[in-house]
Amino acid sequence: PAHTTHVYQGLDVVIFGPLKHYWTQECDQIESSRKQSITKSNFASVYAQAHLQALTPDNICTTFQKTGAWPFNPDVVMK
């Protein structure tokens, strides 16, 4: 719906920010310690490590709380 993109802001801060951080960290580790680059064949395993670190149950719950989606908080949603 129109004028509701702010509701998803929590995803940027709580989920995608850390995911980007951990993805970069995993890529740097692969490239420096193993002297490999990210390829189609190793992408999923490298991404999986970043995904597991960023998308924890606590982070997911925090996202819903910060956006006011659950528990529902109209004051946060209407900001």
SS3 69: strand
Residues 37-48 as b/e (b if ≥16 CB within 10 A, e otherwise) read eeeeeeeeebbe
Query: What is the tens place of the pLDDT at every residue in 11-60?
Result: 887 899 999 999 999 999 999 998 889 999 999 999 999 999 999 999 99
**Is a pLDDT exceeding 90 seen at residue 6?**
no
pTM value is 0.75
Stronger pLDDT, 1 or 77, i.e. the higher one: 77
